[in-house]
Chains A and B, each alone.
Chain A
Amino acid sequence: MKSKNLLMHICLIILAIVSLLPFIWLVSTALKSSSENIFAYPPELIPRHFTLENFFGVWKQIPFVAYIYNSLIVAFFTIILNLIFSSLAAYPLARMEFKGKNFVFFAILSTIMVPFQVIMIPIYLMVLKLNLVDSVSDFNGFLGLILPFAVNAFGIFLMRQSYMGIPKEMDEAAIMDGCNAFELWYKVLLPMSKPALATLAIFTFVGCWGEFLWPSIVLSKQTMFTLPVGINHLQGVFSSNWRYISAGAVISTVPILIFFLSLQKYFIAGQNQGGLKN
């Protein structure tokens, strides 16, 4: 039994090394001073002279604060709109009978079948038509980044699932107390759907924070860059200065890493389950 556990641990350690190595190599390069040859062969994983000068250097030249600010604005409002719009739309789909319900239902469902990449060109033309671009104003630029992702079918169905798990007796009691439809949603269904709202918020954040394709299409001003666009831009700015590129990439990863580590129980399946016996 002991030896089998040891074997498992070895496999898991290999998995951990493979998962982390590319990132560790970036950190190592970012920590090497300019007196060290980062192209040395054989490569050296542990820097000979630790330095933070690359971090300070890249921080001074690249407006990270602006990138992070832009990414936070976009993520924050995308999350808020998703929470509001999805939880509103899910309510009649879970609780009401009305003409055209099936039609609405399948219309929303059908959006899952079409990849964003298929319709990104007409969406871009739509955004242009509505003047939601950063050449008009920063505010419009933000709207162009946020609105196309302000709602999605997964969010609506997630909220619907959550409502359907709430006993109908709760509704009846609320109506007896004189609640109207809006109050029923706001005072009963929404407070009881906190776990679903949290899940929706977290996954919207992760998707939004890493989004690259759409901002790289609509953004024209560097001051409006979100973090992923800004980090990719590093490659052009510092061409082969891998110390700075690495330092910049590491800096950009810190926020999402903190976010993930503090909320990891939402990401990792089966946290509370007993493991499989072997």
Chain B
Amino acid sequence: MKNYYSKYTPFLFLIPAMLILLLFFFIPFVESFILSFKSYDHSLYNPTWVGLANYQALLGSKEFWQVLWNTVLFMVVAVPILVVLPIIIAVLLSQNLRGITIYRVISYIPVIISIVVAGIAFKWLYNYDGLLNYLISFIGIPKVEWLTNPDIAIYSVIILTIWKGLGYYAMIYLGALATAPKELYESCDIDGASVFRKHLAITIPHLMPTISLVAVISSISAMKVFVEIYVMTQGGPMNSTKTIVYYIYQRAFENLDIGLASACGIILLIITMGLSMANLKYFEQQNQIG
């Protein structure tokens, strides 16, 4: 094919997107490092260079370590459930049953509902004299202070995150199940294997790449959890639900401590780095890059 474009043509097409990325990604990205070495304590317009002082302040602050612990706890509890439970849901949703489309649609509604509305709904559900405490009383569990007990509040937020994520990850698994080797299931049927064994022997190995993908993306989103907490607990009680992003938000936009917040952002970047690289690898495989 003869050349129908000059050497400048590609850049004409790239300019709009690259300009946006430059202004709202690359420059801010570089600046996020610079900001983390500055202090805005004395003036918002004349920051002073303080070197590693923000990082030292962070690592020496008890609140930061609690925030980090809360975030890790959030991830460690939420991710395994978000990896495993949607597999079961996807297998259920993949059955040829009457009305299966309706079940699929309903199970996706939590994903589509705004996280703010979901937060409000759960706050109301978690009310001390509310519906949830009434429902658990049937299985003999006494009333729980879902959002006011510092030992419990973070799990209540995790429950919301799980509720909202199940449908999303189930759809990812459902997509992968569509390519499951049907002949294997049939030969299993002939051998008379149980449903459970069948899935253990065929479904799980088939889903393995998807399982690790879900583990990576659910871990990344757990590291970034924010809105649930903003809407339901504001980080309380007693900082028990304050996570990294909430802390950054509060430091930067409520206390105007931009330097410290930026340092915390860099730490978040470092922590998520490994996860993001894994994520990128899946993305590359999918897009046949190279």
Seen from chain A, the residues whose Cβ lies within 8 Å of a Cβ on chain B are: 4-5, 8-9, 11-12, 15-16, 18-23, 25-26, 29, 39-43, 45, 84-86, 88-89, 91-92, 96, 98-99, 101, 104-105, 107-109, 111-115, 117-126, 130, 147-148, 150-151, 156-157, 160-161, 168, 171-172, 175, 179-181, 184-185, 206, 209-210, 212-213, 216-217, 227-228, 231-232, 234-235, 242, 245-246, 249, 252-253, 256-257, 260-261, 264, 267-271, 273-278
Given contacts A126-B24, A273-B178, contact A19 B106 (CB under 8 A): yes
- Is B103's CB under 8 angstroms from A242's CB? no
Given contacts A16-B103, A260-B109, contact A121 B32 (CB under 8 A): yes
Given contacts A5-B97, A147-B24, contact A85 B17 (CB under 8 A): yes
Collect the chain A residues with CB atoms within 8 Å of residue B134's CB.
Answer: 41-43
Among B124, B178, B227, contact of A242 (Cβ-Cβ < 8 Å): B124
Q: In the complex the two chains form, what is the Cα distance from A29 to B14 in whole Å? A: 52
Among B17, B97, B272, contact of A89 (Cβ-Cβ < 8 Å): B17
Min CB distance A202 to B, Å, is: 11
Task: Tell me whether B230 is interfacial, beta carbon within 8 Å.
Answer: yes
Task: Tell me whether B23 is interfacial, beta carbon within 8 Å.
Answer: yes
Collect the chain B residues with CB atoms within 8 Å of residue A122's CB.
Answer: 27-29, 31-32, 35, 262
Min CB distance A229 to B, Å, is: 8
Residue of A9, A86, A105 with most partner-chain B CB within 10 A: A9
Given contacts A22-B122, A147-B24, A151-B20, contact A268 B268 (CB under 8 A): no
Given contacts A181-B4, A242-B124, A275-B100, contact A91 B13 (CB under 8 A): yes
Among B18, B120, B182, B189, contact of A235 (Cβ-Cβ < 8 Å): B120
Q: In the complex the two chains form, what is the Cα distance from A213 to B245 in whole Å? A: 10
* Seed contacts A39-B127, A206-B112, A267-B111; 9 additional CB < 8 Å A-B pairs: A4-B195, A11-B92, A15-B107, A92-B13, A107-B18, A118-B29, A118-B269, A122-B28, A232-B119
Q: How many A-B residue pairs have CB under 8 A?
A: 305
Min CB distance B31 to A, Å, is: 4
- Is B107's CB under 8 angstroms from A121's CB? no
- Is A12's CB under 8 angstroms from B17's CB? no
Given contacts A16-B106, A92-B13, A114-B276, contact A277 B113 (CB under 8 A): no
- Is A269's CB under 8 angstroms from B17's CB? no
Collect the chain A residues with CB atoms within 8 Å of residue B289's CB.
Answer: 105, 109
Residue of A130, A209, A210 with most partner-chain B CB within 10 A: A210
Collect the chain A residues with CB atoms within 8 Å of residue B226's CB.
Answer: 117, 213
Task: Tell me whether B10 is interfacial, beta carbon within 8 Å.
Answer: yes
Q: What is the chain A residue whose CB lies nearest that of B227?
A: A212
A-B contact pairs, 22 of them (CB 8 A): A8-B97, A19-B110, A23-B121, A43-B134, A89-B13, A114-B25, A115-B224, A117-B268, A120-B252, A121-B262, A151-B16, A175-B4, A181-B5, A210-B114, A217-B253, A231-B120, A232-B116, A245-B120, A253-B113, A260-B109, A267-B111, A276-B96
Among B11, B18, B116, contact of A212 (Cβ-Cβ < 8 Å): B116
Segment from B49-57, B60-68, B75-83, B277-285 that makes contact with A:
B277-285
- Annotate B256-290 by CB proximity to A: 1 below 8 A, 0 otherwise: 00100110011011001100110110011001010
- Is A12's CB under 8 angstroms from B97's CB? yes
- Is A96's CB under 8 angstroms from B10's CB? yes
- Is B261's CB under 8 angstroms from A121's CB? yes
- Is B265's CB under 8 angstroms from A119's CB? yes
Interface residues of B in 175-192 (CB under 8 A from A): 175, 177-178, 180, 182, 185-186, 189
Q: In the complex the two chains form, what is the Cα distance from A73 to B101 in whole Å? A: 32
Q: What is the chain A residue whose CB lies nearest that of B265?
A: A118
Q: In the complex the two chains form, what is the Cα distance from A208 to B252 in whole Å? A: 23
Q: In the complex the two chains form, what is the Cα distance from A232 to B118 in whole Å? A: 11
Collect the chain A residues with CB atoms within 8 Å of residue B141's CB.
Answer: none
Collect the chain B residues with CB atoms within 8 Å of residue A5's CB.
Answer: 97
Q: What is the chain A residue whose CB lies nearest that of B276?
A: A113
Collect the chain A residues with CB atoms within 8 Å of residue B249's CB.
Answer: 213, 217
Min CB distance B38 to A, Å, is: 11
Min CB distance A142 to B, Å, is: 15
